[in-house]
Amino acid sequence: MLARHADPIVAIATAPGRGAVGIVRVSGKQLGGLAQALCGRSLRPREATYLPFLDARGEAIDQGLALFFPAPHSYTGEDVLELQAHGGPVVLQLLLARCLEAAAEPDQTAHAPRLPALRLAQPGEFTERAFLNGKIDLAQAEAVADLIDASTEAAARSASRSLSGALSHEVQLLRDALIQLRMLVEATLDFPEEEIDFLRSTDARGQLQRLQQRLAQVMQRTQQGALLREGIKVVIAGQPNAGKSSLLNALAGAELAIVTPIAGTTRDRVQQTIQIEGVPLHVIDTAGLRESSDEVERIGIARAWEAISTADAVLFLHDLTRADEPSYRAADAAIENALAQRLPARVPLIDVWNKSDCAPTAHPAQIAPDRPAIALSARTGQGLDALRRTLLQVAGWQAAPEGVYIARARHVQALQAVQNHLQQANALLDAPDLPLDLLAEELRLAQNALNTITGEFSSDDLLGVIFSRFCIGK
């Protein structure tokens, strides 16, 4: 463990600015002396006490509630002292400074060895300690941040489920089954003469297959959770004047991008995150695609292609009122070709025929039979709901947010690694000479990958990345 984890830490736990109540929180070993110095008395464990918080001269900085959670029964698993004061930024700064000062005073009550000095907490450090002290696992610690960051009810509820251990529990069940299987294989390794018969008679294959099925279910649910947290990137592309900016504005319900009848209006990408059934969609409006001699417009078009190449889904916009013009169709066909070259096959393309309010026929010509096509009017809003439904569908959202737990791309990737190792293991079981040591190794790697989710197996780098994105005081 790193040395910094031994330091006592302090931070303002409440959001910056004025509030009804503000909290200064301290975590560390043996905080009884500090509590005594600030509160003028010893505190009963886990009991709110109304008292003055004292400065060095014994004068009250504020009157508030003090709470003392002796280790290990606290949020962090260490001693935790909470000073719940009036929520003014100056009061809280004074209390924070007083904590640092009091901790630096020599302790008159005991001849105890000098403790490490109290210091300001880094982002996420309280929660990191909760993780390091086994109060919560890594997936739960991530859920704490996701709960705080949640911008929709669906995101908040699913983060709360993960915080309660829903994802961790699924991972635990997978791990138990994996350990059973590993024990079987490792036992066989010890008795090489009987190996093949032994392994076959114990239904190792059946166990592995059941494990793979269960993994597939967990992956599916975890993908939903990751979708809820991370959303997808939807790029609106097409010829100038098709109504791309109008569509972005209609989806966002706000006049974000400039709309004019002049072809080539948009140059920069305009991005807005919208929510559909709680799923975040990062929608990007781009410059109209065409040959251009205008320097600024050419840069805009290059940026449009950059956005397209990193999209999770592309809305290919067409003007329904011009669908019968040969030159218009030729220009669309040229874009179609370029898209086919630049877009990875897995990225869904949706044909959107705009301006249905002005078109003689409400139905678009189907460009390709194997992809969704929608007619709508960005101006009147007709057809937008159908587009929203289609977007959720291509995102892979399976409705019913009840029961979804929040997850991250990192969790999905870990499960994919587990899946790959189990597939390897399956193939080895079929190999004629059954290379037991290789089989055992694949299962061991599968377990390591699984353990990265809950943090039993993790690097300091990973922890650094995860906790540094928290807010200070959390």
Ligand X SMILES: Nc1nc2c(c(=O)[nH]1)N(C=O)[C@@H](CNc1ccc(C(=O)N[C@@H](CCC(=O)O)C(=O)O)cc1)CN2
Ligand Y SMILES: Nc1nc2c(ncn2[C@@H]2O[C@H](COP(=O)(O)OP(=O)(O)OP(=O)(O)O)[C@@H](O)[C@H]2O)c(=O)[nH]1
Where do contacts with ligand Y occur on this chain (CB under 6 A)? 240-246, 259-261, 263-266, 287-288, 354-355, 357-358, 377-379
Question: Pairing state of beta strands 279-285 and 60-69?
Answer: unpaired
User: At closest approach, how far in Å is the CB of 68 from Mg ion?
Assistant: 60
473: left (phi over 0), alpha (psi -120 to 50) or beta: left
User: At closest approach, how far in Å is the CB of 263 from ligand Y?
Assistant: 5
Contact flag: residue 397 with ligand X (CB under 6 A): no
Q: Which of 75, 316, 467, 470 binds ligand X (CB under 6 A)?
A: 75
Build a one-symbol-per-residue string for 119-138: x at contacts with ligand X by CB under 6 A, - elsewhere.
----------------x---
The H or E element spanning position 4 is none
Contact flag: residue 266 with Mg ion (CB under 5 A): yes
* Widest CA span in the chain: 92
* Nearest residue relative to ligand X (C-beta): 73
* Residue closer to Mg ion (CB basis): 14 or 266: 266
Which partner in ligand X, Mg ion, ligand Y, none is near 444 (CB below 5 to 8 A by kind)?
none
User: At closest approach, how far in Å is the CB of 255 from Mg ion?
Assistant: 12
User: At closest approach, how far in Å is the CB of 316 from ligand Y?
Assistant: 12
User: At closest approach, how far in Å is the CB of 344 from ligand Y?
Assistant: 24
Build a one-symbol-per-residue string for 225-264: x at contacts with Mg ion by CB under 5 A, - elsewhere.
-------------------xx-------------------
Can you tell me the distance from the alpha carbon of 198 to that of 208, in angstroms, rounded to the nearest whole number?
15
| DSSP letters spanning 26-59 | EEES--HHHHHHHHSSPPPBT--EEEEEE-TTS-
Contact flag: residue 29 with ligand X (CB under 6 A): no
Build a one-symbol-per-residue string for 40-69: x at contacts with ligand X by CB under 6 A, - elsewhere.
-----------------------------x
Residue count (the chain): 474
The alpha carbon of 474 is separated from its chain's Cα centroid by a whole number of angstroms, namely 17
Can you tell me the distance from the alpha carbon of 144 to that of 159, in angstroms, rounded to the nearest whole number?
7
User: At closest approach, how far in Å is the CB of 130 from ligand Y?
Assistant: 49
Can you tell me the distance from the alpha carbon of 242 to that of 237, in angstroms, rounded to the nearest whole number?
9
Can you tell me the distance from the alpha carbon of 156 to that of 158, in angstroms, rounded to the nearest whole number?
6
DSSP state of 473: T
DSSP state of 265: -
User: At closest approach, how far in Å is the CB of 388 from ligand Y?
Assistant: 16
Contact at 8 Å (CB) between 137 and 26? no
Contact flag: residue 73 with ligand X (CB under 6 A): yes
Question: Which residues bind to Mg ion, rule: CB under 5 A?
Answer: 244-245, 265-266
